[in-house]
Amino acid sequence: DEYVPVNQFVDFDLQDILQNNLRNRGYVIPSPIQDQAIPVALTGMDVIGIAGTGTGKTAAFALPMLNRLITDKNSKAIIIAPTRELAQQIEQEIRLLAKGTGLSGVILIGGTSMGLQLRDLRHNPRIVIGTPGRIKDHINRGTLKLRNFNLIALDEVDRMLDMGFINDVTEILSNVNDIRQSFFFSATIDNKVRRLIDTFSKEPHMISLRPSAA
Ligand code: AMP
């Protein structure tokens, strides 16, 4: 059956600047995952989203994160993606959604200048987006300290584990603040994905676009 959204974006309790950016971007009706995830996420709960590419999952975690970053000046966010391309796509979407907020960010991926990343990191970014290997490199070098990061999103968890990033991801998650809000998005959920989420989330709310999927 066709999913009928309950909300429009204007119904969400999002900061005016985000509402303006949504309007400018032409986002009026939330996608199913956004419609279900955003209200829950705005209460501060951990969210698991079972949704694949093209579902609007990026804005589903980015909007609640940005809202918190704007309203709580001490908050910091890290977003982990399996590939450089996905990390860059997430950055582009966030750049548009965060326009005019003054929030600073850094993208930490392989194959791009370490020097630029180190420079951006020295400016104390509020948003870090990257791939597991490069994020771990920066943690090990002491150039990225995650103790004060209280918002974390893992995108395409299943793919990240398939690519062999379990140890890197576990190490990164162990470094972020215990008091935090976590977002896990995955196209599929198997035992490996489930175990990682169970270890690093607290009473998460699960939203599944495909309830019949394994
Ligand atoms: P994603 O699944 O996050 O990669 O998003 C897929 C595409 O849909 C991207 O190009 C988004 O810019 C676009 N998009 C996401 N949410 C909406 C929405 N509520 N209305 C219109 N377009 C959207």
State the Cα–Cα distance between residues 26 and 201, nearest whole angstrom: 33
Question: Residue 126 CB: number of other CB atoms within 10 A?
Answer: 23
Listed in sequence order, the DSSP H helices in the chain are 16-25, 32-41, 57-71, 84-97, 114-122, 132-141, 157-162, 166-175, 191-200
pLDDT tens digits, 95-151: 999 999 999 999 999 999 999 999 999 999 999 999 999 999 999 999 999 999 999
State the Cα–Cα distance between residues 12 and 6, nearest whole angstrom: 11
Cβ(31) – ligand 1 distance below 6 Å: yes
pLDDT of res. 210: 64
pLDDT of res. 2: 82
Instruction: Specify the pTM.
Output: 0.96
Shortest-distance atom of ligand 1 to CA 29: 19
Cβ(59) – ligand 1 distance below 6 Å: yes
Cβ(75) – ligand 1 distance below 6 Å: no
State the Cα–Cα distance between residues 41 and 45, nearest whole angstrom: 5
* Best residue for ligand 1 mutational test, from 3, 31, 96 (most atoms within 8 Å of Cβ): 31
Nearest one of 85, 84, 105 to 96, comparing CA atoms: 105
How many angstroms does the Cα of residue 125 sit away from the middle of ligand 1?
25
One-letter amino acid at 79 equals I
Cβ(21) – ligand 1 distance below 6 Å: no
Residues 6+ apart with CB under 8 A from 3: 32, 35
pLDDT of res. 213: 43
Residue 138: C-alpha distances to residues 6, 76, 116, 199 (Å): 42, 16, 13, 23
pLDDT tens digits, 76-109: 999 999 999 999 999 999 999 999 999 999 999 9
> pLDDT > 90: what percent of the chain?
95
State the Cα–Cα distance between residues 160 and 40, nearest whole angstrom: 25
> pLDDT > 70: what percent of the chain?
97
Instruction: Say yes or no to pLDDT of 11 above 60.
Output: yes
Q: What is the mean pLDDT of residues 44-50?
A: 98
Cβ(8) – ligand 1 distance below 6 Å: no
